[in-house]
Amino acid sequence: MLIRFYDVTKVYPSGATGLFSVNTFIGKGEFVFLVGPSGAGKTTFLKLLTREILPTRGQVLLNGRNITRIRPTEVPYLRRTVRMIFQDFKLLPNKTVYDNVAFALMVTEKPRRQIGALVNEALKLVGIESKAEMYPDELSGGEQQRVSIARAIVGDPTVLLADEPTGNLDMETSWDIMEVLLRINKRGTTVIMSTHNATIVDVLKQRVIELDNGRIVRDDEKGVYEGEAEYNAVLPG
Partner 1 sequence: MRYFLAEGWKSTKRNVSLISLGTMAVSIFVLGVFGLILMNLSNVNSNLRSSIEIRVYVEDNLTGQGLGALKQQIESIEGVHRVTYVSKEEGLSRLAKQLGEKAGLVDILGENPLPDTFDVRVFNADSTPDIASRISNLPHIIGVNYGQGFTEKLLSATRFIAVATVVLAVILLGAVMFIVGNTVRLSLVSRAQEIEVMKLVGATDWFIMWPFLIEGMIVGFLGSSLSGICLYVVYRACISRLGLVAPFIPIITETAPVARLCAGLVGLGVLMGVFAGGVFIKKHLEI
Ligand X SMILES: Nc1ncnc2c1ncn2[C@@H]1O[C@H](COP(=O)(O)OP(=O)(O)OP(=O)(O)O)[C@@H](O)[C@H]1O
Residues binding Mg ion (CB under 5 A): 43
Q: Does 39 contact ligand X by CB under 6 A?
A: yes
Least CB distance to ligand X at residue 162 (A): 12
- Specify the stretch interacting with partner 1 by CB under 8 A; choose among 14-22, 102-110, 116-124, 174-182: 102-110
With helix as H, strand as E and coil as C, how does the chain read? CCEEEEEEEEECCCCCEEEEEEEEEECCCCEEEEECCCCCCHHHHHHHHCCCCCCCEEEEEECCEECCCCCHHHHHHHHHHEEEEECCCCCCCCCCHHHHHHHHHHCCCCCHHHHHHHHHHHHHHCCCHHHCCCCHHHCCHHHHHHHHHHHHHCCCCCEEEEECCCCCCCHHHHHHHHHHHHHHHHCCCEEEEECCCHHHHHHHCCEEEEEECCEEEEEECCCCCCCCCCCCCCCCC
Site for partner 1 in 109-128 (CB under 8 A): 109
Binding segment for partner 1 (CB under 8 A), chosen from 31-39, 69-77, 130-138, 177-185, is 69-77
Q: For the CB of residue 76, give the shortest distance to partner 1 in the complex, in Å.
A: 4
Picked from ligand X, partner 1, Mg ion, none, the partner binding residue 84 (CB below 5 to 8 A depending on kind) is partner 1
Say if CB 208 and CB 220 are below 8 A apart.
yes
Q: Which of 4, 32, 33, 44 binds ligand X (CB under 6 A)?
A: 44
Q: What is the Cα Rg of the chain in Å?
A: 18
Segment contacting ligand X (CB under 6 A): 8-16, 108-116, 174-182, 229-237?
Answer: 8-16
Q: Which of 16, 92, 217, 234 binds ligand X (CB under 6 A)?
A: 16
The interface mask with partner 1, positions 129-158, x = CB under 8 A, is ----------------------xx--x---
Site residues, ligand X (CB under 6 A):
12, 14, 16, 18, 36, 38-44
Site residues, partner 1 (CB under 8 A):
50, 72-73, 76-80, 83-84, 90, 92, 103-104, 106-109, 151-152, 155
